[in-house]
Amino acid sequence: MHVKLSGLLLLICLCVQDAMAQLPDFTEMVKTNGTSVVNISTTQKAKKIVADGTTKPQLPEGIPPEMEELFKHFYNNPNGGGEDDFAPGETQSLGSGFILSADGYVLTNHHVVKDADEIIVKLTDRRELTAKLIGSDARTDIALLKVDAKDLPSVAIGSPEQLQVGEWVLAIGSPFGFDQSVTAGIVSAKGRSLPGGNYVPFIQTDVAINPGNSGGPLFNMDGKVIGINSQIYSRTGGFMGLSFAIPMDVAMHVVEQIKAHGKVAHGWLGVQIQDVTRELAESFNMKKPQGALVARVVPDSPAEAAQLQIGDIITEFNGHAIDKSGDLPPMVGMTPINDMATLKLIRQGEDKTVRFKIGLLPDQDATVAELAKPNANVVVNKIGVNVTELTAEQRNALQLPRGGVIVQEVVNGAGKNAGIQRGDVILRIQNYAVNSVDEFSKIVRELDAGKSIAVLIQRNGSPVFLAIKIEK
């Protein structure tokens, strides 16, 4: 019995050792690359006034309120002292970065150094160097710095395209100001599209990233940087298992433009797009939901010159398949200005190919005024949506020169089930433009029950397609 128990214990030990042997060992990677990771602090002369009239330090974005007192003390003076030790009228923030080349180029996030009057790069050998901002790009959240130094330890750049979901990755940075903190995890997904990040196909990981990690490198198992840690998704301000990194091919594209021109030019098509849902795919007679559905064509844009139409579904860009709408903007954005590009699309059930010249993305996005209150002339229809004509004031506020009816009330029915809301402007139903209440009523009367119908609305200044299905 004793012999059998000893044998079982030995087997368990061997299994544990085998499992541990299969786990990655990051020690050599950290030794090799740790010296290339830097801490970045910034100073702003502008005061941030609190209720008692004193200045308040700028802490890393998203810090939990219950930890603010502890960390403002830590940031202001490592030896103690609190916020009174700040220079009058100055605020400070901390982030991470890494050395791109031995001659002193450093890469970090745009939001780490935004509006900074002074940028300090702290090396692992405790040298603190004043950095010059060579250029930055808010759309991709990339900033390139330069310090006056030579023979600096630099990172090797890897290929995000070869990165596989499930692969181990490692981050080094300064969360909450704790320099050279190392965390590891796996790649959770690739090509994530986030609000405000249309030109970045983010790498999603479960690596522990916290305020202060921003701008730090994400390494693959070959010890090469494949991403820049940029954002987290959190309801608490701290890590919750969802971290996002900017792929290095996007970052290096920005770096090359900054070095050459001092700024970044993004390619532009000039459409507002959305995903094709299963219901919308049915309404467009598609076999499966895919592509980028055009909800708006911007006036005087390359898309308008190429005669793209609302309702077109873009399925390819320069030979690359568009599975989700988020796939398209990064591809267009990284294409050189004035290059000719090719789109494949589906228009009213037919395959088409369109050629267009890449334009320059405007500096400012168009803004639309808020909707005025609808008037009281209501028309009822069988989808449970009460609509009325738009007044001249409403058209002016919405920048709609013609077409559309405004939703004043939504009752139980197909419209409510599809998500139509009071204040929406209905612009199109299937392939028919809606120019008046009479046209709207006629189109609705002829809708078939049991079939998904694509309806284009405008809400809060943005167009979006919804799928309505009238019950039989």
- For 306, counting Cβ atoms within 10 Å of its Cβ (0-12 exposed, 13-18 middle, 19+ buried), the class is middle
Residue of 128, 125, 131, 123 lying closest to 147 (CA atoms): 131
Does residue 424 have an active-site annotation? no
Q: Rounded to an integer, what distance in angstroms lies between the CA atom of residue 374 and that of residue 465?
A: 21
Task: Say which of 137, 141, 312, 327 is annotated catalytic.
Answer: 141
Q: Rounded to an integer, what distance in angstroms lies between the CA atom of residue 408 and that of residue 421?
A: 8
Do residues 204 and 244 lie in contact, with contact meaning Cβ atoms separated by under 8 Å?
yes
Task: Say which of 36, 41, 96, 111 is annotated catalytic.
Answer: 111
Which H or E run contains 97? strand 91-99
At 304, list the tokens: 């308008």
Which H or E run contains 256? helix 248-261
Residue of 35, 22, 17, 23 lying closest to 184 (CA atoms): 23
Question: Longest C-alpha distance within the chain, in Å?
Answer: 93
Task: Say which of 214, 283, 325, 452 is annotated catalytic.
Answer: 214
At 201, list the tokens: 């196909």
Does residue 214 have an active-site annotation? yes
Does residue 111 have an active-site annotation? yes
Give, in order, the Cα–Cα distances in Å from 390 to each of 25, 94, 128, 295, 406.
65, 50, 62, 20, 6
Q: What is the DSSP letter of 207?
A: S
Q: For the chain, count helices (H), then strands (E).
A: 11, 27
Where does 150-250 show beta strands of DSSP type E?
156-157, 168-173, 181-192, 202-205, 217-219, 224-232, 243-247
Q: Rounded to an integer, what distance in angstroms lies between the CA atom of residue 446 and that of residue 435?
A: 16
- Residue 242 burial (CB count, 10 A): 16
At 438, list the tokens: 């009479």
End-to-end CA distance of the chain: 73
Residue numbers annotated as active site? 111, 141, 214
